[in-house]
Amino acid sequence: MYSQDNTATKLTWHKACHVNDIPEDGGGCALINGKQIAIFNFSRRGEWFATDNQCPHRQQMAVSRGMIGSHEGEPKVACPFHKKTFSLQTGKCLNDDNYAINTFPVMVEENLIYIGIGK
Protein backbone atom coordinates (compact mmCIF):
# COMPACT_ATOMS: atom_id res chain seq x y z
CA MET A 1 0.00 0.00 0.00
CA TYR A 2 1.35 3.36 -0.85
CA SER A 3 -0.17 6.75 -1.12
CA GLN A 4 0.84 10.31 -1.54
CA ASP A 5 -2.69 11.49 -1.67
CA ASN A 6 -2.74 14.23 0.92
CA THR A 7 -6.28 15.30 0.24
CA ALA A 8 -7.99 12.01 1.01
CA THR A 9 -6.56 11.62 4.49
CA LYS A 10 -6.12 14.35 7.02
CA LEU A 11 -2.50 15.35 7.40
CA THR A 12 -0.60 16.50 10.43
CA TRP A 13 2.67 18.28 9.75
CA HIS A 14 5.58 17.23 11.94
CA LYS A 15 8.80 19.17 12.25
CA ALA A 16 11.66 16.86 11.24
CA CYS A 17 14.95 18.78 11.02
CA HIS A 18 16.85 21.70 9.51
CA VAL A 19 17.50 21.67 5.76
CA ASN A 20 21.24 21.53 6.44
CA ASP A 21 20.83 18.23 8.28
CA ILE A 22 20.22 16.41 5.01
CA PRO A 23 23.15 16.39 2.57
CA GLU A 24 22.57 17.69 -0.93
CA ASP A 25 21.46 14.94 -3.29
CA GLY A 26 21.44 12.58 -0.33
CA GLY A 27 19.22 11.39 2.48
CA GLY A 28 18.83 11.26 6.22
CA CYS A 29 16.50 9.60 8.70
CA ALA A 30 14.26 11.41 11.20
CA LEU A 31 12.47 9.87 14.14
CA ILE A 32 8.90 11.18 14.17
CA ASN A 33 6.46 9.92 16.77
CA GLY A 34 8.45 6.72 17.07
CA LYS A 35 8.38 6.21 13.29
CA GLN A 36 11.50 6.26 11.14
CA ILE A 37 11.10 8.49 8.08
CA ALA A 38 13.69 8.80 5.31
CA ILE A 39 14.05 12.33 3.95
CA PHE A 40 15.78 13.12 0.66
CA ASN A 41 17.19 16.41 -0.49
CA PHE A 42 17.11 16.00 -4.26
CA SER A 43 18.84 19.33 -4.77
CA ARG A 44 19.67 18.64 -8.40
CA ARG A 45 15.94 18.75 -9.11
CA GLY A 46 15.20 21.23 -6.33
CA GLU A 47 12.79 18.74 -4.76
CA TRP A 48 12.33 17.11 -1.37
CA PHE A 49 10.92 13.65 -0.78
CA ALA A 50 10.08 11.52 2.25
CA THR A 51 9.45 7.78 2.50
CA ASP A 52 9.48 4.94 5.00
CA ASN A 53 12.98 4.28 6.27
CA GLN A 54 12.23 0.55 6.37
CA CYS A 55 12.82 -1.42 3.21
CA PRO A 56 10.07 -4.01 2.73
CA HIS A 57 12.44 -6.51 1.13
CA ARG A 58 14.23 -7.63 4.30
CA GLN A 59 12.76 -5.10 6.73
CA GLN A 60 16.01 -3.21 6.99
CA MET A 61 16.02 0.34 8.39
CA ALA A 62 18.26 1.84 5.75
CA VAL A 63 16.36 3.44 2.90
CA SER A 64 17.68 6.87 4.01
CA ARG A 65 21.22 5.59 3.45
CA GLY A 66 20.40 4.64 -0.14
CA MET A 67 21.55 6.39 -3.25
CA ILE A 68 19.08 8.58 -5.10
CA GLY A 69 18.77 9.12 -8.82
CA SER A 70 16.23 8.83 -11.58
CA HIS A 71 14.96 6.31 -14.09
CA GLU A 72 13.60 7.86 -17.28
CA GLY A 73 12.92 10.98 -15.30
CA GLU A 74 11.22 9.32 -12.35
CA PRO A 75 13.06 10.11 -9.10
CA LYS A 76 14.06 6.99 -7.15
CA VAL A 77 16.11 5.67 -4.26
CA ALA A 78 18.05 2.37 -4.15
CA CYS A 79 18.11 0.44 -0.87
CA PRO A 80 21.77 -0.10 0.06
CA PHE A 81 21.19 -3.75 0.96
CA HIS A 82 20.11 -5.41 -2.27
CA LYS A 83 19.47 -2.42 -4.51
CA LYS A 84 15.70 -2.65 -4.74
CA THR A 85 14.83 0.77 -6.13
CA PHE A 86 11.71 2.69 -5.18
CA SER A 87 10.01 5.59 -6.90
CA LEU A 88 10.24 8.63 -4.65
CA GLN A 89 6.95 9.84 -6.11
CA THR A 90 4.75 6.78 -5.76
CA GLY A 91 6.76 4.49 -3.48
CA LYS A 92 6.43 1.67 -6.02
CA CYS A 93 9.41 -0.64 -6.30
CA LEU A 94 10.73 -0.19 -9.82
CA ASN A 95 12.61 -3.45 -10.13
CA ASP A 96 10.33 -5.81 -8.22
CA ASP A 97 6.55 -5.61 -8.43
CA ASN A 98 6.19 -7.31 -5.09
CA TYR A 99 7.25 -4.33 -3.01
CA ALA A 100 6.30 -0.74 -2.31
CA ILE A 101 6.97 1.80 0.42
CA ASN A 102 4.94 4.71 1.79
CA THR A 103 5.77 8.20 0.65
CA PHE A 104 4.97 11.36 2.59
CA PRO A 105 4.54 14.96 1.55
CA VAL A 106 7.34 17.36 2.54
CA MET A 107 7.01 21.07 3.34
CA VAL A 108 9.97 23.43 3.72
CA GLU A 109 9.41 26.59 5.73
CA GLU A 110 12.10 28.94 6.98
CA ASN A 111 14.75 26.29 6.40
CA LEU A 112 12.88 23.73 8.46
CA ILE A 113 11.56 20.47 7.06
CA TYR A 114 8.04 19.30 7.90
CA ILE A 115 6.65 15.88 7.05
CA GLY A 116 2.92 15.36 6.51
CA ILE A 117 1.61 12.21 8.10
CA GLY A 118 -1.98 11.02 7.73
CA LYS A 119 -4.12 10.17 10.73
Partner 1 sequence: MYSITNTRIVVAGNGMVGYKFCEKLLSRKKNDQVFQITVFGEEPREAYDRVHLSEFFAGKSADDLSLASKEWYQENGIKLLLSDPVVDIDREQKCVRSHHGHVVYYDYLILATGSGAFVPSIPGVEKDGVFVYRTIEDLEMIRSHAARAKKGAVLGGGLLGLEAAKALLDLGLQEAHVVEFASRLMPRQIDEAGSRTLKNQLESLGLQIHLGKSTQEITGGDCLEGMQFTDGSLLVVDMLVISAGIRPRDELAKIAGLETHPRGGIIVNNQLQTSDPAIFAIGECALAHHMIYGLIAPGYEMAEVVATRIAGGEKEFLPYDMSTKLKLIGTDVASFGDPFIEEPACKTIRFENKAKGIYKRVNISEDGKTLLGGILVGDASQYNMLLQTFKNKTILPPDPEDLILGSRGGEEAGAGVMGFPDDALICSCEAVTKGMLCHEIGENGHHTVDALKKCCKAGTGCGGCVPMVKDIIAGVMKQKGVYVRNVVCEHFNYTRQELLDLVKMAGLKTYGTVLDEFGHGDGCEVCKPLVASVLASLWNESILQKDRAPIQDSNDRYLANIQKGGTYSVVPRIPGGEITPEKLIVIGQVAYKYGLYTKITGGQRIDMFGAHLGDLPSIWEELIEAGFESGHAYGKSLRTVKSCVGSTWCRFGVQDSVSFAIEVEDRYKGLRSPHKLKSAVSGCIRECAEAQSKDFGIIATEKGWNLYVCGNGGSKPQHAQLLATDVDKEMCIRLIDRFLMFYIKTADPLARTATWLNKMEGGMSYLRAVIVEDSLGIAADLERDIQQLIDVYQCEWKEVVRNPELRKRFTHFVNTPEKDPSVTFDTMREQKKAKEWV
Q: Which does 97 bind (CB under 5 to 8 A by kind): partner 1, ligand FES, none?
A: partner 1
The interface partner of residue 44, options being ligand FES, partner 1, none and the CB cut-off 5 to 8 Å by kind, is: partner 1
The least distance separating ligand FES from the CB of residue 111, rounded to whole angstroms, comes to 31
Residue 82 in the binding site for ligand FES (CB under 6 A): yes
CB contact at 8 A, 88 and 76: yes
Taking CB under 6 A as the rule, does residue 84 contact ligand FES? yes
Q: Which does 112 bind (CB under 5 to 8 A by kind): ligand FES, partner 1, none?
A: none
Least distance from C-beta 49 to partner 1, angstroms?
12
Does 81 interact with ligand FES (rule: CB under 6 A)? yes
